[in-house]
Protein backbone atom coordinates (compact mmCIF):
# COMPACT_ATOMS: atom_id res chain seq x y z
CA UNK A 1 0.00 0.00 0.00
CA UNK A 2 1.38 3.37 -0.97
CA UNK A 3 1.51 5.93 1.81
CA UNK A 4 -0.06 9.03 0.25
CA UNK A 5 0.73 11.30 3.19
CA UNK A 6 4.44 10.62 2.84
CA UNK A 7 4.18 11.13 -0.89
CA UNK A 8 2.55 14.54 -0.41
CA UNK A 9 5.25 15.53 2.07
CA UNK A 10 8.01 14.62 -0.39
CA UNK A 11 6.31 16.30 -3.33
CA UNK A 12 5.52 19.58 -1.58
CA UNK A 13 8.88 19.71 0.14
CA UNK A 14 10.76 19.66 -3.16
CA UNK A 15 8.29 21.15 -5.63
CA UNK A 16 9.64 24.69 -5.27
CA UNK A 17 13.17 23.54 -5.93
CA UNK A 18 12.28 21.23 -8.81
CA UNK A 19 14.57 21.44 -11.80
CA UNK A 20 13.72 18.88 -14.45
CA UNK A 21 17.24 18.28 -15.74
CA UNK A 22 18.57 17.94 -12.20
CA UNK A 23 15.73 15.53 -11.42
CA UNK A 24 16.59 13.49 -14.49
CA UNK A 25 20.22 13.12 -13.42
CA UNK A 26 19.16 12.38 -9.85
CA UNK A 27 16.89 9.60 -11.10
CA UNK A 28 19.81 8.04 -13.00
CA UNK A 29 21.91 8.07 -9.83
CA UNK A 30 19.00 6.50 -7.94
CA UNK A 31 18.80 3.71 -10.54
CA UNK A 32 22.46 2.85 -9.99
CA UNK A 33 22.17 3.03 -6.20
CA UNK A 34 19.06 0.83 -6.17
CA UNK A 35 20.70 -1.78 -8.41
CA UNK A 36 23.80 -1.90 -6.21
CA UNK A 37 21.77 -2.18 -3.01
CA UNK A 38 19.49 -4.83 -4.50
CA UNK A 39 22.54 -6.81 -5.63
CA UNK A 40 24.04 -6.54 -2.15
CA UNK A 41 20.84 -7.72 -0.47
CA UNK A 42 20.32 -10.61 -2.88
CA UNK A 43 23.88 -11.81 -2.37
CA UNK A 44 23.55 -11.45 1.41
CA UNK A 45 20.41 -13.63 1.28
CA UNK A 46 22.10 -16.21 -0.96
CA UNK A 47 19.70 -15.57 -3.83
CA UNK A 48 21.05 -16.44 -7.28
CA UNK A 49 19.63 -13.37 -9.05
CA UNK A 50 21.76 -10.56 -10.41
CA UNK A 51 21.03 -6.84 -10.42
CA UNK A 52 23.02 -4.32 -12.43
CA UNK A 53 22.61 -0.80 -13.74
CA UNK A 54 23.43 0.48 -17.20
CA UNK A 55 23.80 3.59 -19.28
CA UNK A 56 22.57 3.02 -22.84
CA UNK A 57 24.59 5.97 -24.09
CA UNK A 58 23.24 9.09 -25.70
CA UNK A 59 20.39 7.83 -27.82
CA UNK A 60 18.47 9.86 -30.38
CA UNK A 61 15.00 9.91 -28.81
CA UNK A 62 12.37 12.54 -28.01
CA UNK A 63 13.48 12.87 -24.37
CA UNK A 64 15.01 16.30 -25.03
CA UNK A 65 12.17 17.67 -27.18
CA UNK A 66 11.21 20.33 -24.61
CA UNK A 67 14.72 21.78 -24.44
CA UNK A 68 14.93 24.03 -27.47
CA UNK A 69 18.72 24.15 -27.84
CA UNK A 70 19.18 20.45 -27.22
CA UNK A 71 16.30 19.58 -29.54
CA UNK A 72 17.84 21.62 -32.37
CA UNK A 73 21.18 19.89 -31.78
CA UNK A 74 19.60 16.44 -31.61
CA UNK A 75 17.53 16.87 -34.74
CA UNK A 76 20.44 18.16 -36.84
CA UNK A 77 23.78 16.87 -35.57
CA UNK A 78 22.35 14.13 -33.38
CA UNK A 79 21.93 11.78 -36.30
CA UNK A 80 25.70 11.73 -36.68
CA UNK A 81 26.87 11.61 -33.04
CA UNK A 82 24.06 9.93 -31.08
CA UNK A 83 23.16 6.25 -31.03
CA UNK A 84 20.03 5.02 -32.75
CA UNK A 85 17.49 3.06 -30.71
CA UNK A 86 18.94 -0.33 -31.68
CA UNK A 87 22.45 0.74 -30.65
CA UNK A 88 21.06 2.15 -27.41
CA UNK A 89 19.42 -1.21 -26.63
CA UNK A 90 22.68 -3.10 -27.17
CA UNK A 91 23.93 -2.98 -23.56
CA UNK A 92 20.53 -4.02 -22.19
CA UNK A 93 20.48 -7.05 -24.51
CA UNK A 94 24.11 -7.85 -23.72
CA UNK A 95 23.46 -7.83 -19.97
CA UNK A 96 20.38 -10.02 -20.32
CA UNK A 97 21.77 -12.57 -22.77
CA UNK A 98 25.57 -12.77 -22.91
CA UNK A 99 27.20 -15.67 -21.04
CA UNK A 100 30.10 -13.43 -19.93
CA UNK A 101 27.77 -11.55 -17.59
CA UNK A 102 26.32 -14.62 -15.91
CA UNK A 103 26.70 -14.16 -12.16
CA UNK A 104 27.89 -10.54 -12.45
CA UNK A 105 25.94 -8.36 -10.03
CA UNK A 106 26.10 -4.88 -8.53
CA UNK A 107 27.94 -3.40 -11.51
CA UNK A 108 27.39 -0.45 -13.80
CA UNK A 109 27.59 -1.13 -17.54
CA UNK A 110 28.08 1.08 -20.56
CA UNK A 111 28.77 0.03 -24.15
CA UNK A 112 28.65 -3.68 -23.25
CA UNK A 113 31.36 -3.32 -20.59
CA UNK A 114 31.59 -2.78 -16.87
CA UNK A 115 32.15 0.93 -16.49
CA UNK A 116 33.11 3.36 -13.76
CA UNK A 117 30.17 5.24 -12.22
CA UNK A 118 30.61 8.55 -10.42
CA UNK A 119 31.69 8.56 -6.78
CA UNK A 120 28.17 9.09 -5.40
CA UNK A 121 27.02 5.93 -7.17
CA UNK A 122 29.59 3.95 -5.17
CA UNK A 123 28.36 5.24 -1.80
CA UNK A 124 26.97 2.16 -0.03
CA UNK A 125 25.53 4.21 2.84
CA UNK A 126 23.67 6.44 0.39
CA UNK A 127 22.35 3.33 -1.38
CA UNK A 128 21.06 1.95 1.94
CA UNK A 129 19.44 5.30 2.83
CA UNK A 130 17.73 5.49 -0.56
CA UNK A 131 16.53 1.90 -0.20
CA UNK A 132 15.09 2.59 3.26
CA UNK A 133 13.52 5.84 2.07
CA UNK A 134 11.85 3.99 -0.82
CA UNK A 135 10.56 1.25 1.47
CA UNK A 136 9.11 3.87 3.85
CA UNK A 137 7.28 5.52 0.96
CA UNK A 138 5.37 2.36 0.13
CA UNK A 139 4.57 1.24 3.69
Residues with catalytic roles: 24
Q: Read out DSSP for 3-53? A: -HHHHHHHHHHHHTT--HHHHHHHHHHHHHHHHHHHHHHHHHTT------E
The percent of the chain in helix, strand and coil, each rounded to the nearest 5, is: 60, 5, 30
Amino acid sequence: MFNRERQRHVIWRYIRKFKSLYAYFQSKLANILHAKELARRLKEDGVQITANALHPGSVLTDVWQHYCFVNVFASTLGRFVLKNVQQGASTTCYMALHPKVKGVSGEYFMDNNISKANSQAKDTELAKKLWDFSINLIH
